[in-house]
Amino acid sequence: MYTRGPAECPHTQSAVVVDGEGAGRVLHVCREEKCPIHSTVTRYHLSPKERAVRAKEALAERVEKQSRFETLNAVRRKLPSALSRPDLEMAVLDYFERLGHDNHRRLCRAYGWDEKKTKRPSNAAVDYKSIGAKAICEMSTPDVQRFLIVCALASDLYCPGYNPGQALAKDSNLARTAVRYKVDVSKIAARVRSELTEKKLGAGGSRRRRVAANQP
């Protein structure tokens, strides 16, 4: 806290402003928070009315937080061993919404949900979240359960831009789930590589034939 002069209290020390407006100016600073001279002068004290208002606000906050916590525990104790359709759908929709736009897009692609059904301006982004939410509500209960697992695997579809050819990590959810269900990731990668290579070569051959046909 700043003081008017160096002799106001034994805790006052001189300080020099080294930068900005007032550089070079000498200030006198009291460094004792409990200084009997300056603590009562420089600190703001609440009026009785303000203290009463703040106490009321603090109590309301504590009541709300504790009530929500106890409500959650009351619901938790009543949850059945097998989830009902409303509970399952609520949990899946909440999880799905938290995944973010990119994972919404990946899941829509994985399930083949037609994005063209969403009415939107030509310059706006596709509302994948609404498309997915609508599809989830129309799923059967077993399909909703399976969709929950697919949501947990969706983030592993991301390939980092700094190394887009990086292989799927063995400790990723997708790789570990593939092992549990005896899905051969290496075999799939080999097949995809062969198909894409053949497609690329086929496209190159078609271009060469078109060029040759146009030559005199």
Q: What is the pLDDT of residues 81-130, one digit of tens each?
A: 999 999 999 999 999 999 999 999 999 999 998 766 555 555 667 889 99
- Supply angle C-alpha 132, 165, 190, rounded to 5: 85
Does residue 43 carry a pLDDT above 60?
no
Does residue 212 carry a pLDDT above 70?
no
Please check whether residues 56 and 101 belong to one and the same domain.
Answer: no
pLDDT of residue 211: 47
Q: The domain containing residue 159 runs over which residues?
A: 85-183
Report yes or no on 128 lying in a domain.
Answer: yes
pLDDT of residue 210: 56
Does residue 8 carry a pLDDT above 70?
no
Report yes or no on 8 lying in a domain.
Answer: yes
Among 129, 127, 145, smallest CA distance to 89 is for 145
Report yes or no on 193 lying in a domain.
Answer: no
- Supply angle C-alpha 47, 52, 57, rounded to 5: 125
Distance separating alpha carbons of residues 120 and 149, to the nearest angstrom: 30
> What's the longest Cα–Cα distance across the chain?
102
Output the average pLDDT for the chain: 83
pLDDT of residue 30: 75
pLDDT of residue 38: 64
Contact 174, 122 (CB under 8 A): no
Please check whether residues 37 and 52 belong to one and the same domain.
Answer: no
Domains identified in the chain, total number: 3
Please check whether residues 107 and 94 belong to one and the same domain.
Answer: yes
pLDDT of residue 7: 56
Report yes or no on 197 lying in a domain.
Answer: no
Please check whether residues 35 and 51 belong to one and the same domain.
Answer: no
Question: Can you list the alpha helix ranges (DSSP code H) found in the chain?
Answer: 39-42, 48-78, 85-98, 101-111, 128-137, 141-154, 173-180, 185-214
Model pTM above 0.75: no
Spatial neighbors of 17 by CB under 8 A, at least 6 apart, are 23, 24, 25, 27
Report yes or no on 196 lying in a domain.
Answer: no
Does residue 191 carry a pLDDT above 80?
yes
Please check whether residues 29 and 55 belong to one and the same domain.
Answer: no
Report yes or no on 18 lying in a domain.
Answer: yes
- What tokens does 129 get? 């979240």
Please check whether residues 16 and 72 belong to one and the same domain.
Answer: no
Does residue 65 carry a pLDDT above 60?
yes
32 against 209, higher pLDDT: 32
Please check whether residues 117 and 167 belong to one and the same domain.
Answer: yes
Q: Enter the DSSP assignment of 37.
A: T
Please check whether residues 6 and 67 belong to one and the same domain.
Answer: no
